Amino acid sequence: MLSSLFSGTSGMKTNMNTMSVIGNNLANMNTIGFKSSRVAFADLMSQNISGLSGQNQVGLGVQMSDVSTIFTQGAMESTSNTMDLAIDGDGLFIVKNSQGTDNYTRAGQFSFDNSGYMVNPGSNVVRGFLADSKGIIGTALADIKIDFSSVPPTATTDIDMVANLNSNADVTGFVFKTGVNDQIKFTSDMGGTPTAVTASLITDDGLVSGEAYTGDEVAVAMKSALEAKDPGGNKFSVSYVRSTGLFTVTNDASNTQSVRLDWDTSLSSSTLGFNAVASGTIAPGGSDVSDTMAGAFDVTKPIETSNFSSAINVFDSLGKSHQVSVYFRKSGTSATGNTWQWKAVVDGADSNTGNTEIQSEGTLKFTTAGALNSESTISYLLTSGGFDFSGGPTQGQTIAFDFGDSITEGSDGLAGLTQYGQSSAVYSQNQDGSPVGTFQRSYINQEGILQGVYSNGDTKALAQIALAKFTNNTGLIKEGGNLFAETAESGAPIVSVPGTGSVGTIHSSSLELSTVDIAEEFVKMITAQRGFQASSRIITTTDELLTELVNLKR
């Protein structure tokens, strides 16, 4: 009879412990990352009582055989903090406590302390894989720490441009300077006596030295200068074709003397497009046509001596910005396509010499379909073979201008330059340099990669969050503070990165809520209360039976 008392006692004790588990679950219903527990009951060893039919077993009560943690996925709550993390799937965050021991948690409320370490509210350091200075993530598990120092500048090495150059553009670029390219030498007959004379486009016609003129204006000046100097008073006509950039000098049919244009000794021959050879005798009514497209780019008159331009800021080795202006000038036409020149000009304020200079240049050849089929680049500066920027950076900086072509395209996969019959325009251009960058903020993607965002627009990988997976999650032991510890029952952790193997992904600006189900816990509470109540009734009833037994003596 006394065994029933102990059975009732075990029932009361076990159901009371069940109430403790239920109470702990309900108390943590708002605890981030909390996993609810459940109780498993088991009967105690039975006693054997002999009977007519053999051995009969009578139980000795109940015991709590197991309290297990249920690792089901919790719902997610969105937050405004990018360092709040939630795991979608299997896995636990790894954090190191003050004793240097790794613990595990599903609570992803993280932040950075004053030393740059990523920590949870209990100051445990989050563990992961660190990236090197180039953003390449390593494989050794380490404490995650952010370096808040600035990132060094990157000097520009490449400029990509996507643009169209107007195929109908006129040839430009006529600048004459006294004693440099202003003289036209010719030999005129005077009654059969050849006379060599020199005409100047500046002194004999009034063109201003250093100013830029159109081809039509130059044609008028050539006619005026030749007639002003011809000893026999011959008349000339000079025409200019804007689409080809060619001049035609005609000995007027009304003249009686022949003339020879001495381009081999004329200073103006190159600018006007004539080869450096004499024209031969030009009889009245005869002509001499220039051999190549005339004109030239002049760095002192870049707008007037080019057809189109674009400016882009580049960076030197110290991260200082400098403006480079790229000028395009139509320089040739042929049956197979047009040719253009391009000049990269650095202003005197950005040039180490203090002078406005052409620091890189080249030619561009287009097909008759408007596609760029070849490009020739000459990167130079008079002293160092590259860009020499002011301010003390590395001199001779090499910058490649990538205009693409119809075969290989640009390095960025874009079509580069085209030459169609529409207005010249730049559609996109970019360069690969950057100034010094200071740390602005950080964020974490689904792969758990911690990215740093800097003031210069750079984004660099700093670290990657590590996740631990256990063969038996229910074997983990709770340490308090939302932490679990490894045990023999859980097995050793398998450490990997989010989204690989069987571990889940990470959601930033999210937290995993508690898995406690209030309705389910209340039902368990009722059954535990009834079990406790029924067990107490066993004790009181057994007590009454014992009382009756004692009263038999009376």
Task: Name the residue among 491, 427, 430, 523 with its Cα closest to residue 164.
Answer: 427
Provide CB contacts within 8 A for 20, sequence distance 6+: none
Helix (H) or strand (E) run with residue 440 in it: strand 439-444
Contacts of 259 (CB under 8 A, 6+ apart): 186, 187, 188, 189, 230, 234, 251, 281, 282
Backbone angles phi, psi at 535, to 5 degrees: -65, -35
Single-letter amino acid, residue 359: Q
> What is the CATH T-level fold of the domain 158-170+297-431, as seen in this structure?
Tick-borne Encephalitis virus Glycoprotein; domain 1 (2.60.98)
Provide the Cα torsion 390, 394, 396, 399; round to 10°: -90
Dist. CA 454–CA 443, nearest whole Å? 12
- E strands present in 44-115: 47-51, 54-58, 62-69, 76-78, 85-88, 92-96, 102-105, 111-112
Phi and psi, residue 242, nearest 5°: -65, -30
Q: How much is the pLDDT for 283? A: 94
Q: How far is Cα 478 from Cα 21, in angstroms, rounded to an integer? A: 13
Name the one residue in this structure whose structure tokens are 């025409």. Answer: 239
Give dist(CA 358, CA 298) in Å, integer. 10
Range list of H helices, 159-214? none
**Is the pTM here over 0.85, yes or no?**
no
Question: 174 with 213: CB under 8 angstroms?
Answer: yes
Q: Name the CA dihedral angle for 145, 150, 156, 160, rounded to a multiple of 10 degrees.
A: 60
Burial class (CB in 10 A: 0-12, 13-18, 19+), 334: exposed
In the chain, domain spans: 2-72+515-551, 76-149+439-512, 158-170+297-431, 174-289
Give me the helix-helix angle, 518-551 and 2-27, nearest 10°: 160
Q: How far apart are CA 32 and CA 83, in angstroms?
A: 14
CA atoms within 13 A on the CB side of 270: 7
Q: What is the pLDDT of residue 419?
A: 92
- Give the strand pairing for 158-164 and 417-418: parallel
Helices and strands counted in the chain (H then E) = 4, 38
Buried b / exposed e over 373-396, threshold 16 CB at 10 Å, is: eebebebebeeeebbbbbeebebe
> Is residue 217 within 8 Å of residue 175, measured between CB atoms?
no
DSSP letters for 306-371:
-SEEEEEEEE-TT--EEEEEEEEEEEE--TT--EEEEEEEE-TTTBTTSS-EEEEEEEEEE-TTSB
Pull the structure tokens for residue 152.
């060094």
CA separation for the pair 338, 340 (Å, rounded): 7
Predicted pLDDT at 402: 84
pLDDT tens digit sequence for 253-295: 999 899 999 999 999 999 999 999 999 999 999 999 999 888 8
* Below-50 pLDDT ranges, the chain: 378-384, 405-414
Alpha carbons within 13 angstroms on the beta-carbon side of residue 268 total: 26
Query: Which CB contacts under 8 angstroms, 24+ apart, belong to 109-118?
Result: 109/32, 109/84, 109/511, 110/83, 110/84, 110/85, 111/81, 111/83, 112/83, 112/146, 115/145, 116/145, 116/146, 116/147, 116/148, 117/143, 117/144, 117/145, 118/83, 118/144, 118/145, 118/146, 118/450, 118/463
Q: Bridge partners of 196?
A: 187
**Residue 108 φ then ψ, to 5°:** -105, 35
Residues in the chain: 554
Q: Around Cβ 433, how many Cβ atoms within 10 Å?
A: 22
